[in-house]
Structure 1
Amino acid sequence: MADKSNPRVRKAVSQAGLSASKKHKAGTSSTTKPPTTDQPRVTRRAARQQQKDHPTVQQRNAKVSNDARAAAPFAWKACTGDANDLKRLQTKEEAVSQGLYHAGRIRSYIQLMAKTLQKHGGTTFQSWVAQLDDLEKQNDAFRVAIGFVGATEAGKTSVINALLGFRDLLPSSNQATATAVPCTIAYNNSPDPAAAFAAQIKFRTEQDIRQTLEYYFDAIATADESAEAAKADPSASASLNDSGTADEDVSDLLEMVSVVFNIDEAALRTETAGSLMAKHPDVRRLLGTTKTVKKSQSEVEAFSESIRPYMDSVTAVHGDTGVEFAAWPLIDVVYIFVKSDVLKNGVVLVDLPGLADSTQSRGRVAQEFFAKLSVTAIVAPVVRALNEQTATTLMTDNQQLRLQMDGSFHKKAFCMVLSKMDDIEVETHLKQQSGEARSDQTLEAARASLKALEEEFKTIQAHRSQTGQELKDIRRKLRHAEAHNLEQYQQDKSKSQVKLDSLDLQQQRNRKKAKDLNGLIRHWCITSRNAFVKKHMQQDFKRRQQRLAAVTTRPDLYDGDVNIFPVSSTAYWQVTQDTESPIGFPAKEYTGVPALQHWLRYAAIPERERHLNMVLNALHGLYNTMHTWSSASKASLRLTKKFVNDEVLHRPLEVFTTALTKRFSKLGRDIKALNPIKNKGSTVANCKDRCIRVVEHWAALDPDKGSQSKQLKRMRWPTYNACIARGGEVFIAKKGPRYAWVESLCNLFYEDIVGEWNLVLNEQVPALEPPTLDAIEEIWTAFMRQLEKRASVAAPQLLTAESQEKLSQIQLELRDLVSQDIRYIRDQARKAHLSVKDGVKAKWEPAFKRAKKEPAGKARFARQEQILVDFAARRGANMFKEATDQIAENLGAQLSAAHRRLARSMDEIRMRLANAILLILKPEGEDETPSDDNNSQENHAAGPRAAEKRNVQEIMLQWEAMWRMRTEQDTSLEACEAAIPDSYYVNAEDAEDADDDEDSSTGRGLVRVSSEQFLGQI
């Protein structure tokens, strides 16, 4: 039966009823005649039935129905050529939602029939249910992850809040800790109004925390040993450089441990991992759990406060004991779910730390998220962007190389966000850019007008003071005036008051003019600085992209350009929520936030549309088979199952399968021939030669300054020892740079292969898709020709236009499966290099252990350094050879898995084809396929109940109607300006005698007047 709870179904039914009622009334008034006395009396019901049963009427109705269908194709297919990408996607997303909804309603009937018919062949129904389950899982799991990476105090969280449309959703008072915890923000699909805002906080495991504590206590012991050695041998102090900082290795961990267990360093030295856990049961109970927070739509502030203790450094009670402590160091990841338009249809925002976390577990979690990003946005304050050289330095070299190897280091998958755009000293900037400022006539005119207004303000203020004094004198005289002078004094008072009011009004207007002039000047300074910073960042990005541009087949992607978005989240909220816009930001477009939202929407479109097309084609195929089964008549049954299989299907399917197998084998050979590390020998040789220099450079204080270690300042021994103790993993020294020894060795390897790797896996493998799909088109055409030859004699039902359309839909499903498989091959092959780091780390573990065991004392630094350099000389070549061999093995394994995946796709399509054809030939086939004996069906009690079938038919009719109707488009999806406006516009109310140019209204009813118009009016 129809599900009236669905609002779209209710709307469709009510509209259909209203339309039918109008047509009936119109028809009655124009064509109905009263019956004559010679005619027998006929009831309305009988008359309607006679009219319906008339053959001519039936033929006409059938023709009208068919013509209507032909005139109204499925909206999601008809929108293919729609130039508005966002509206096109909305149509397809609505179709997916409706398709899954109606298919889900049918599922209960299909499941019942599959269960009823299991003894007589109900596997067709079971396959429908399984196919629908898979589609729902794929749709639910679909994600387009957009990651935001930024250093501390970059304003990253504020930018994300602005994109989401909630001012204080994510706590941002302490970015230093918030950025250490990866946080994902996804759309909240829950219909529960009490859970409009939801969060899941996943805590680290007890084993993970115990390992961290054990490492901490081991590092303390090493530091104490070094300090004792320095006391015993004063001559060693020079090599130690500063024994008082020997515990530098644990400084980052000390903060984490102390804020959780509320204990200082001295007390910690008397504890063990076990004793700490035993004394803090609240901590132990949190570990390995997931906490859930839910709030209603009106409780956004309460929700923010509820999640703050898990993302900020504030302390709170987290258990029964009532003890307060900071929980953020115990957290792996926070998942947040909110109802925000920017998150609809699978888009997920990911808040990640900028640099790999010094705590290895959190660094590992962040790295796992980083590898899954579809789009990466680097956030840096515009005032610091150039001082930090470029925002791309917020990524490590290793992360940048991985982006390049994943094919994501280009303008469609990577952007830079310059936050805090409103933070600018106007006068300072004008002095720094005095030459450019003097050459801008509009700016100079604005500054001159502002100066004139300031002088006018002083003049008016003087007149106002004088008039005020006059008014004061008149009031004094009035108090002592004689009767005959009262009228004159009252007139003088009124004149003075009018004059004073006029001066006040003029001052008020001048203040508004001054604000707009200051806004114009401020906008010029902001725009000037943005252009300067963007120019230098573009140059830097082009240099970094050079190794890819040298070998690419996609110059449109690797042309050195990158999207850079200056934004001000502070100004955005002032414009959209506060009563008065800030100076320099007359409308929200000037804040840069809408431009960033616009780009993020479009950056996610390719993946979203690819997913939608796949789901819709699969749903259409499911729709066709269900429609064929539910709408067919038993009287059409003529063929036996054996005849259909042997004479109609067998030969064409065999030829089809053989041709596909050959084509898939060729695809495998073509992919295998595109070896991304075919120059293995030269790669190993290059890495071996450079490996020794890199290891020698580990002793440098600044790891980013070249590799000539003799010319560089050397780090202190405690720092060197800390890196050894961590096995070459990430270590961030106190008030020092970031050291990542294992990564530096991996980077050697990546730098040598990244160009060829990107070319092969991100360009050449995807380029195999079009010719493969063309070949499948030819194979399909040949299959249909063979099938038509046999069907013309044995099964003419297959030659109808409706049957041909249903079979053609399966071809689209095949194309989608093959496209998915090729992307799967590419994505899995790109992961083959991930084993390099683990392999390098394992190879170097003995060397680090040996260096760590070197006895304390004089020249320990030199001995440790020599151990590592000698190991690089002995094992470097073998290490990189094993790395290339491991990648080759991984690629081979992925290729084998891809072959199996293609084979499964072929089997799936063959089964769908066979089922579709059998259903067309035997529509009433409750027993899955035509029986060997037509009369044997009467002996089965397995047929679906008539009522159930009618229910399915009604749902199918509603499904079809919803797919054919064009839905109302969401006006919020209209494209906005792609950049901050170059020209500055002011509110017309602020300009005297302004023209009502309402064609360019923006913001809160803002009537735009250009700066030139405004200056002319002044």
Structure 2
Amino acid sequence: MTRRLTGGKRLFPVDGASDGAGPSRAPAPDNPIPSIEDDVYTVTETTASRSPTPSISVSDPSEAEPGGPEPASPRGAAERDAGSETESLPDRLQWLRLRNSTSSSASTGLGLGSLRAALPSAEPGRRSQTPNLLLPDASPAASPGGRRRRSSSMGQRRYDVRDEAPPQDRFHEPAFQQGLAEAQTLMSRLAGVLGSSTLHLEPDSSMKGLQERADELANFRCPPTRTVGLVGDSGVGKSSLLNSLLDYRNLARTSNGGAACTCVVTEYYHHDRGDFVVDVDLFSEEELEQQLRDLVHAYRHNHFHSAEMDLPDDRRHWAKRAKLAKDTFRAMFADRFRTALLRSENSEDTIVQTYLNWAMDLRPINEFDGRTVTDSLEDCSSLLIRLTSDLDGAEGPGCWPYIKKIRVYLDAHILSKGLVLVDLPGLRDLNSARRNITERYLHQCDEIFVVCPIGRATTDEGVQHLIELARQAKWSNVGIICTKSDDIRADEAQTDWAGAQATEVQRLRGSVAEADQQLAALTELLVDPDGLEDMTVEEELEQAQLLVQCERARGEIESRRFELQRYLITTRNDKVEARLLAKYRGKIPGGNLHVFCASNTLYWEKRDSRPLGVTIQFLELSGIIPIRRHCMGLVSQNQLRIATKYLRDDIPNLLSKVELWVQTGAGTADAEKKRAVREALDQLEGQLRRSLDGVTSPLNNLGRKLTDAFQETLYRRRKISRWTEGAIQAGQVWSGVPTYAAFCRNYGTYNTSAAGYHCWNEEAMRSMNDDLADPWERLETEIQRQLDAGQTFVSETLDGAVAFHLGNALDSFLDTVGPLRTALQSGNRLHVRAIEDLCETFETDLSKLRTDALSGLRTSYFGQSMETTYWNAICEAGKGSWDRKKAIINGALRREALFRELMQKLKRKFEDLATQLETDARAAVGEYLDGVKNSLDMVRSENVALESERDPEFRTRVAKELERVKRRMEHHEF
């Protein structure tokens, strides 16, 4: 059956054809760039003996020979659009067949399939090979034999996030990764050999410990070491950004269905399985009680006192809080909730207790106690929506008001090297508990990105708020991600921009319009289908050539559209980045502000297009790949350190102990020499224990030394009266602020058009910070000196003791000296690294302590002390409320106990950190000395010798495998 196309002079409609395109016409939305190598088709060779008088007919595509099945889409792949209004020229060409004019039944391929095969690839950034007479700036057509087509399988390839180029650093170098993988394989094989006898099954055998350690090393994985937090107001595209970075379409919820639901802290971790695991942490009873108390008070204050509020802003503030309370209660209690109880004459304590009883009865502790495993992306997404969305009242209470944190485990490439991504509630959330959780969590993040739409990036209040927090907290790890970078119109850009940029936009738009017109002109030359029957062979071939030229013109249109889109996006991105850096970089400690622009829409529209060469340019333009590469690069340095320790210390330490076990069974020394060896090793162990665990060990009084330094350098310099006077003066300045109530509503932190940004907490603490800034710097210097001295002592003590005692006494065991020395030296390095890690953790904790003690953040010590004060001031309404608000604030600032209690809290926390450091250091010493004893026992213990001698065949297998592992490890440079 043959289907004929009728109507008009064009053979078929053409995507992108212009109906009078001109320079002022905005470009049409991007369509996936067509590829002539997408689909599988047959190229039939032609010969002189084939039909001499062919003619053209167009077959119904349903009758065409079916091609291969559509390849399975990868995770996150979109379904191919089935409802396209027009079909591509290559597809139409595929239906063309040349038939013998003398035989209607004999269909012979004259090679029109090869015309389609010869069509040039229309990749963005590469000019289509349309003839010069039609597109003057296009490159000439390629000769038939001058271009070798890529295989159709290449055209079928889709984008795979795992193929992205990794960050350019040592850890991600292929040679290093290959060596790391081979080392794990070697450890797995060694563990198998060590377990090939029954010795490892005996509880007290040394082989049992060696086999277990080899198994541990075979399963080595770099732990999560870097956390990136994403924070932003509702609707800025944060969840969509997470989906793009994780490369899972529609995983994270992209809109809030519940009026009261903002979100909960959601952490994304890696696991290497195909399923998804969701782990839920619920609020404790005490945490729920505090939230209920705040919500009950907010609703009742609005209900009973809204008429007394003089300021419209006050009324709006309390109305919002009341709505938040009502929506939250409805979500928590479903059909149980009625507003009558809130409006009753019962005391707030009574109402809170009633609600708390309900909450403890209804919270989903049984349903979500532990981990929930889902097998598919859809099931996981549905579960997350259930956890974070309001349910219909008939379905029961919602979960989100009870949830403190959610952990999601999935096989996402961005997480595979140790990164943790965190979706955080907004910093301006009306729910104080969730807002404070976010601020506290930011202390733990290795990098923080605030997300905002690109259209309002330089004025976004969420960005301004985070930058100010970073300035106060001295965070140097802050960045900005602007979403919706593709939301830009060419006509508006041409109008808004000036000079060369506007001229370039005009040129690119004109280029697109010209290509549209040329394609329209080409299609006009295509004859009516009714005339195909009367054509000569030459005319039919001319029509086929026109089809080829149409396809080239179509590719040229797409190429030019991409050039226009790329210019618009990159130019606007550069402008926004420059403005953000100019405005905020000076406020970030160190001036290191990362700015990225991204389009989640562009990423998902193009992610599953083909061929891969076309797709990747769009994905780079979307900005998602650069952000993903940056985030993965954050883990590299720490992961390199951990992996290098594994390769240089952990594995050699085990290999040396295995070699000691082998050599001990082959020993021939007499009893007198063995006695001398045991005495020397006993002396070595004794010296190490005295030096590291004795009374004079620097590690045993490290906590006291650090505490003394804190007392002398910082604590004794407190000036409570002076600091209180400074706070009182700050409060008097605030009393003249016309937006006093607004500052109270925002807990002292507010931004006004007239006065700019102010943080009352920071201003009240200014005298204190002025007095303690230099002492704190001296304290950090003294602490660093002592920590360095402790690390140097440990390193020198270990190396000196080993060098001194492994001397003449071991001459009788020459084969044993080498592996024993290696075992002890690798153990020394492991111990030194452990102490270094403890000191690094202490320094990080000390930096966080400084933020808590000396910043004006709402969650700082000072901010928490003022929390109730601000709340009481907010609740004042009616006649005289203005004066009462001031009295409440100023009264709190006059209390000398405010700064005295702050310093006492700082002192207690510092002492806790110092004590914990000493405790952990002593535990590390104990673990190290146990390892030393274990290594020495390999040589001096008769039981080990007897164990090694018991099964000579097994010992030989172990020795051979040991040599093989050592040879393979020497091939790699770590």
Q: Which category of TM-score, normalised to the shorter sequence, fits these structures?
A: 0.5 to 0.7
Residue pair 1:357, 1:363 contacting (<8 A) in 2 also: yes
Q: CA 1:287/1:356 → structure 2, altered by over 3 Å: closer, same or farther?
A: farther
Residue pair 2:170, 2:176 contacting (<8 A) in 1 also: no
1:887 to 906, 926, 940: 906
Note if 1:425 corresponds to 2:489. yes
**Secondary structure, counterpart of 1:336 in structure 2:** strand
1:633 to 638, 650, 665: 665
- What displacement does 1:338 show? 0.9
Residue pair 2:230, 2:449 contacting (<8 A) in 1 also: yes
The aligned counterpart of 1:1004 is none
The aligned counterpart of 1:569 is 600
- Measure the CA separation in 2 of the matches of 1:436 and 1:505: 36
Residue pair 2:170, 2:640 contacting (<8 A) in 1 also: no
Kindly report which structure 2 residues correspond to 1:51-450, keeping only aligned pairs within 5 A, or say none. 83=170, 85-87=172-174, 90-91=177-178, 94=181, 97-98=184-185, 117=204, 142-174=224-256, 180-189=263-272, 196-227=275-306, 238=310, 247-262=319-334, 266-267=339-340, 269=342, 272-273=351-352, 283-286=362-365, 289-290=368-369, 292-296=371-375, 299-311=376-388, 313-315=389-391, 323-355=395-427, 357-388=429-460, 392-393=463-464, 395=466, 397-398=468-469, 401-402=472-473, 404=474, 409=476, 413-437=477-501, 446-450=508-512
Q: CA 1:96/1:824 → structure 2, altered by over 3 Å: closer, same or farther?
A: farther
The aligned counterpart of 1:925 is 943
Note if 1:490 corresponds to 2:551. no
Unaligned runs of 5+ residues in structure 1 are: 1-80, 231-235, 476-488, 549-557, 697-706, 931-936, 938-942, 970-1018
**Secondary structure, counterpart of 1:588 in structure 2:** helix
Q: CA 1:502/1:806 → structure 2, altered by over 3 Å: closer, same or farther?
A: same
Q: Which residue identity is paired with 2:835?
A: V
**Secondary structure, counterpart of 1:418 in structure 2:** strand
- What displacement does 1:96 show? 7.2
Superimposed CA distance per residue, residues 829-869 of structure 1 (whole angstroms, 9 cap, x where no aligned partner) = 33434764575467557857976897x75213312321321
Q: Which residue identity is paired with 1:393?
A: Q
- Measure the CA separation in 1 of the matches of 2:758 and 2:323: 17
**Secondary structure, counterpart of 2:449 in structure 1:** strand
- Measure the CA separation in 1 of the matches of 2:548 and 2:644: 62
- What displacement does 1:773 show? 5.5
- Measure the CA separation in 2 of the matches of 1:185 and 1:351: 8
- Measure the CA separation in 2 of the matches of 1:606 and 1:906: 26
Q: Which moved more, 1:253-262 or 1:101-110?
A: 101-110
Note if 1:784 corresponds to 2:802. yes
- What displacement does 1:742 show? 8.9
Note if 1:621 corresponds to 2:653. yes
- What displacement does 1:895 show? 2.3
Q: CA 1:309/1:599 → structure 2, altered by over 3 Å: closer, same or farther?
A: same
**Secondary structure, counterpart of 1:821 in structure 2:** helix
- What displacement does 1:665 show? 7.8
Unaligned runs of 5+ residues in structure 2 are: 1-167, 345-350, 854-858
Residue pair 1:380, 1:419 contacting (<8 A) in 2 also: yes
The aligned counterpart of 1:531 is 574
Q: CA 1:664/1:394 → structure 2, altered by over 3 Å: closer, same or farther?
A: same
Q: Over aligned residue pairs, what C-alpha RMSD do you find?
A: 5.1
The aligned counterpart of 2:683 is 650
- Measure the CA separation in 2 of the matches of 1:818 and 1:110: 37
Superimposed CA distance per residue, residues 15-38 of structure 1 (whole angstroms, 9 cap, x where no aligned partner) = xxxxxxxxxxxxxxxxxxxxxxxx
Q: Which residue identity is paired with 1:894?
A: L
The aligned counterpart of 2:641 is 610
Q: Which residue identity is paired with 1:216?
A: L
The structure that is helix-richer by fraction is 1
- What displacement does 1:954 show? 5.1
Residue pair 2:869, 2:888 contacting (<8 A) in 1 also: yes
**Secondary structure, counterpart of 1:925 in structure 2:** helix
TM-score by length of 2: 0.68
Residue pair 1:460, 1:507 contacting (<8 A) in 2 also: yes
- Measure the CA separation in 2 of the matches of 1:597 and 1:618: 31
- Measure the CA separation in 1 of the matches of 2:267 and 2:426: 15
Note if 1:903 corresponds to 2:940. no
- Measure the CA separation in 2 of the matches of 1:909 and 1:536: 54
Kindly report which structure 2 residues correspond to 1:573-592, keeping only aligned pairs within 5 A, or say none. 573-579=604-610, 586-592=617-623
- What displacement does 1:572 show? 2.2
- Measure the CA separation in 2 of the matches of 1:110 and 1:92: 29
**Secondary structure, counterpart of 2:255 in structure 1:** coil
**Secondary structure, counterpart of 1:710 in structure 2:** coil
- Measure the CA separation in 1 of the matches of 2:955 and 2:266: 43
Q: Which moved more, 1:424-433 or 1:626-635?
A: 626-635
TM-score by length of 1: 0.65
Kindly report which structure 2 residues correspond to 1:610-759, keeping only aligned pairs within 5 A, or say none. 610-616=641-647, 617-630=649-662, 632-633=664-665, 635-636=667-668, 638=671, 643-644=676-677, 646-650=679-683, 653-654=686-687, 657-658=690-691, 664=699, 678=714, 681=717, 688=724, 690-692=726-728, 695=731, 710-715=736-741, 720=744
- Measure the CA separation in 2 of the matches of 1:802 and 1:835: 49
- Measure the CA separation in 1 of the matches of 2:970 and 2:506: 52
Residue pair 1:450, 1:517 contacting (<8 A) in 2 also: yes
Superimposed CA distance per residue, residues 311-360 of structure 1 (whole angstroms, 9 cap, x where no aligned partner) = 3x35269xxxx624432222111111111222224322111123164334
Q: CA 1:747/1:167 → structure 2, altered by over 3 Å: closer, same or farther?
A: farther
Q: CA 1:133/1:896 → structure 2, altered by over 3 Å: closer, same or farther?
A: farther
- What displacement does 1:186 show? 1.0
Q: Which moved more, 1:104-113 or 1:363-372?
A: 104-113
Residue pair 1:788, 1:799 contacting (<8 A) in 2 also: no
- What displacement does 1:544 show? 0.8
- Measure the CA separation in 1 of the matches of 2:227 and 2:540: 65
Residue pair 1:664, 1:902 contacting (<8 A) in 2 also: yes
Identical-residue share of aligned pairs (%)? 15
- What displacement does 1:277 show? 6.7
- Measure the CA separation in 2 of the matches of 1:95 and 1:863: 72
**Secondary structure, counterpart of 2:819 in structure 1:** helix
Q: Which residue identity is paired with 1:808?
A: Q
**Secondary structure, counterpart of 2:609 in structure 1:** coil
- Measure the CA separation in 2 of the matches of 1:88 and 1:709: 66
Residue pair 2:585, 2:592 contacting (<8 A) in 1 also: yes
- What displacement does 1:811 show? 2.5
**Secondary structure, counterpart of 2:485 in structure 1:** coil
Q: CA 1:761/1:951 → structure 2, altered by over 3 Å: closer, same or farther?
A: farther
Superimposed CA distance per residue, residues 559-618 of structure 1 (whole angstroms, 9 cap, x where no aligned partner) = x23332222232223333135899998443222222222222221112222333444524
The aligned counterpart of 2:38 is none
Superimposed CA distance per residue, residues 771-823 of structure 1 (whole angstroms, 9 cap, x where no aligned partner) = 76566554444323321444256x54377433333332122213212212221
